[in-house]
Structure 1
Amino acid sequence: MLKQANGQAIIQAFEQFSPKSLAVEGDKVGLQVGTLNKKINKVMIALDVLEPVVDEAIEKGVDLIIAHHPIIFKPIKALRTDQTYGRTIEKLIKHDITVYAAHTNLDVASGGVNDMMAEALELEEVDILVETGQDPLKKLVVFVPEEQASDVREAIGSVGAGFIGNYSHCSFTSQGMGAFKPEEGTDPFIGKQGEMEYVDEVKVETVFHESIEKQVIRAMMDAHPYEEVAYDLYEMASSGKPFGLGRIGYVKEELTLDQFANKVKQAFDVKGVRVVGDGKRIIRKVALLGGDGNKYAFTALHKGADVYVTGDLYYHVAHDAMMEGLSMIDPGHNVEKIMKEGVRRKMKSFVEDKKYSTEVIVSEVHTDPFRFL
């Protein structure tokens, strides 16, 4: 039988994939409107939280919107319900629709917006364009009764602990004897109050990235049978996993710039693109960054890109790139809409795995303010 999920469970699952800690400093990510302390029957994945999107959510009975672009980005000095922005917030509150934003953390995340874009363009040997930090490794050591050890290993592995390369659920186990005396007021899983107890236990050791520490500890505690759990956390000397904005990689086969521009149009479902450079130039290495990537044009150039795909391209940045020999393609900011279906698939997999009754849909409202004539 399917069960209802609450908002906390849905967002905890989402943050395993796109933790807030990956966001660039000052970005407005996380819960923005409403509460997560409620049952969630329907989640809608959206790029933008505009009034037509909120009207769509109301019509479809949505409880939670997971959006890429925050609805609250600048400090609010007044909230007037006779104006569009205030009226949009009012509708969300009146209809008990929660809004959660995942902005640069979703850009940075492995499998996030920029990886989705790289996959759509069929890039190979993909790497990070701009490293913004590292996700440090930590080690968890926990002592578990032998019979329950496999449950704990499975629980922590299911939330991402124990990933080494392409191997998951990696851990090491050694055997020993646990000793304790339950005192007054305890409710021991094993043993009796006031009596020493000796139990065959195992020490389970595994590694995880710091960004998922809360999920790993929670999973471990939930699966562990003891009232009081003995565990240790250690920082690892080995380097963590790098993360960052944008991606850079190689096309499967060489294309001219104009041919590649057409591929960009098809991959991102846009009517037109702005192109900088000689249309006959051969393209092998591609850099990309969803949204506004003007700031990193010369990073793309210095990393050997033949072309840089990004949105909101500035006139003078285009001039500078052209003079330095970097081709550019601007398909617009709205191509980040690719995240809607990508996130929907990930969240649908989660709710099905947990046997939740929650439905996950994508917003069908077109939010690109530009059109081509």
Structure 2
Amino acid sequence: MAKKSGAAVRFTLGDLSAAVDALAPFRLAYDWDNVGLQIGDPAASVTNVLIALEVDNDAIDAAVRVKAQAIVAHHPLIFRPLKNLREDSVSGALIARLVRGKIGLIAAHTNLDRVKEGTNGALAAAMDLQDTEILEPLPLHDDLKFVVFVPPENSLSVIDAIHRGGGAMIGNYSHCTFRSTGSGTFIPGEGADPTIGVPGKLEQTPEDRLEAVVPEHCIRAVLEKVRDVHPYETMGYDIIRLFDAEPSYGLGLIGRLPVAMKLEALAQALHKACDADATSIVGRASTRVRRIAVVSGSAGGSLAGLSPARCDAVVTGELGYHMAAEARDRGLNVVLLGHAASEKIFAPHFARQLGNKLADAPGGGPKLHTHTRYRDPAQTVAVRSATKTSRRK
């Protein structure tokens, strides 16, 4: 929420973090990752933002030039818990520069890899891929479906109990359930103290089936609240994990080129579009490809789920030697752009999305700048073969 300063309304670092979270939810990051607001005061005013692949001295210099109070970086600067903050270390010196310069830092790493318009969306846009779908969907919600069976006269109290436990919310609506009526059958056993029926006799009684969505972290509280009001000695219920039939989140994309082209031509076009240092291919250069899988950075973990039947080629940043050999032996065509080249083009792509998101912010939000001047640490060396010549004496 933008903060008021006198009559003016300020856009803050916290507002920027919330906007990034809305576009690429931080909860989507892998457990080993570290994303979100890493450096800075959430209440600090922000009028200029630099979007960059990672934080190095060149990126900080660029931020200083544009008077940025915040950097949104793809690669986290603070990745593991800090045991100390020493300026004789590379990361320590960079952190100190940001703190002294009062430049906040927000990291959007694997959460940005798992949204359709993130890093992979930028690479897909460079190829004008069409009909794109998530390559590796995240099939599970963090929500559960809670189903409970209750006498009709107790349904409203149970619905309220589900709500008080933290369930039955959909958007801005509470007490959201589906209710259907049927018949429940049971025979109370010896020693039972049934609300309805007698031990040893088959009982058939009207019951409502109530269904509600419950966040996973609330399910224990919901069970406790419902048990408090449920009339049965033994409450019948189901807990169902939800799957998304049309997943919105996941790693990578797959789609079609507007027209088929040779693998070599695709590699050359991407080399130019991504300003790559060196681009290589796995497969025959003359092979015509159209259905393309995209995994920015490194596609090593995604290779097992890909086959020539599923895609004509994979576009990524890098593969280890053994992964590349496996791709070749399995008949997979691959374009390798280099890790930085496959990801740095996200900056202008993400800047457009963030600009649209902040269009209604006070004053149109902060001014967005991009920094894309990155090179892979390993540089290609052009080696000329020596030609032996002989002289006559």
TM-score (norm 1): 0.69
Letter in 2 for 1:139: I
Compared with structure 1, are the counterparts of its residues 17 and 303 closer, same or farther at alpha carbon in structure 2 (3 Å cutoff)? farther
2:346 alignment counterpart: 339
1:10 alignment counterpart: 16
Matched, 1:324 2:355: no
1:139 alignment counterpart: 170
Matched, 1:300 2:301: no
Q: How far off is 1:76 after superposition?
A: 2.7
Q: Any residues of structure 2 matched to 1:1-373 within 5 Å, and which? A: 3-135=9-141, 139-142=170-173, 239=244, 241-242=246-247, 243-301=249-307, 304-334=310-340, 335-356=342-363, 358-372=366-380, 373=382
Q: 5+ residue gaps in structure 1?
A: 144-207, 211-234
Letter in 1 for 2:113: D
Q: 5+ residue gaps in structure 2?
A: 1-6, 144-168, 175-212, 216-239, 383-393
Compared with structure 1, are the counterparts of its residues 87 and 29 closer, same or farther at alpha carbon in structure 2 (3 Å cutoff)? same
Q: How far off is 1:19 after superposition?
A: 0.7
The structure with more radius of gyration = 2
Is the 2:344–2:372 Cα contact (8 Å) retained in structure 1? no
Is the 1:134–1:240 Cα contact (8 Å) retained in structure 2? no
Letter in 1 for 2:358: V
Q: How far off is 1:141 after superposition?
A: 4.9
Compared with structure 1, are the counterparts of its residues 326 and 4 closer, same or farther at alpha carbon in structure 2 (3 Å cutoff)? same
Identity of aligned residues (%): 29
1:155 alignment counterpart: none
Q: Distance in 1 between matches of 2:89 and 2:329?
A: 45
Q: Distance in 2 between matches of 1:278 and 1:367?
A: 27
Q: How far off is 1:365 after superposition?
A: 3.9
TM-score (norm 2): 0.66
Q: How far off is 1:118 after superposition?
A: 1.2
Is the 2:140–2:243 Cα contact (8 Å) retained in structure 1? no
Q: Distance in 2 between matches of 1:53 and 1:44?
A: 8
1:189 alignment counterpart: none
Q: Secondary structure at the match of 1:353?
A: coil
Is the 1:4–1:39 Cα contact (8 Å) retained in structure 2? yes
Q: Distance in 2 between matches of 1:240 and 1:72?
A: 36
Q: Secondary structure at the match of 2:117?
A: coil
Deviates more, 1:98-107 or 1:359-368: 359-368
Q: Secondary structure at the match of 1:321?
A: helix
- What is the alpha-carbon root mean square deviation over aligned residues? 2.6
Q: How far off is 1:40 after superposition?
A: 0.8
Q: How far off is 1:291 after superposition?
A: 0.6
Deviates more, 1:295-304 or 1:275-284: 295-304
Q: Secondary structure at the match of 1:118?
A: helix
Q: Secondary structure at the match of 2:68?
A: coil
Q: With a CA cutoff of 8 Å and minimum separation of 6, indicate the structure with the bigger relative contact order.
A: 1
Q: How far off is 1:265 after superposition?
A: 1.4
Q: How far off is 1:83 after superposition?
A: 3.3
Q: Secondary structure at the match of 1:61?
A: coil
Is the 2:74–2:109 Cα contact (8 Å) retained in structure 1? yes
Compared with structure 1, are the counterparts of its residues 254 and 2 closer, same or farther at alpha carbon in structure 2 (3 Å cutoff)? farther
Q: How far off is 1:56 after superposition?
A: 2.5
Compared with structure 1, are the counterparts of its residues 309 and 238 closer, same or farther at alpha carbon in structure 2 (3 Å cutoff)? closer
